[in-house]
Amino acid sequence: MLYERLVLDYESFRFEATRDQLGDEELLNELHWSPTTQTYADYGLHTDGVKLVRQPAKSPNEPSRVVRSVSVPPKPKLVTSAFGYVSLFPMLLMVLKPESSKLGKILEDLDKPELLWSPYGLR
């Protein structure tokens, strides 16, 4: 710790609470585990009611535009529409304990090509 303080001129105790909070598996499960999909998910403003709509050009010299059309307003919730990197972070960052059933679920999901793999590699 003395070496960190000399090199970075920071007092590491100021960051220890953040480190502990980010490594808290119970808090992670409370905030990001979706019991519905049995995956970790991001949390934020989200809606599935979005599509791209082509708008006609305003004049013959201008190209048409594609704009986002929202039919259902977003609301704060877990974004569970896809299994992806967010679902893997608790394992990759070693937040989960080895005996965690959620770790087992992630490893099972990694073995399902339709969830994460594409003909071109990872989705």
Question: Is the domain of 32 the same as that of 86?
Answer: yes
pTM (two decimals): 0.68
Residue 1 lies in a domain: no
Q: Are residues 62 and 30 in the same domain?
A: no
- How far from each other are the two terminal CA atoms of the chain, in whole angstroms? 40
- The answer to whether residues 86 and 113 belong to one domain is yes
> Domain check: are 18 and 72 in the same one?
no
Same domain, yes or no, for 99 and 121?
yes
pLDDT digits (tens, 9 = 90+) for 40-92: 999 989 898 999 999 988 888 888 899 999 999 999 999 887 788 889 999 99
88 and 112 housed in the same domain: yes
Which residues, 6+ apart, have CB-to-CB distance to 45 below 8 Å?
74, 75, 76
36, 66, 32: which is closest to 51 by C-alpha?
66
How many domains does the chain divide into? 2
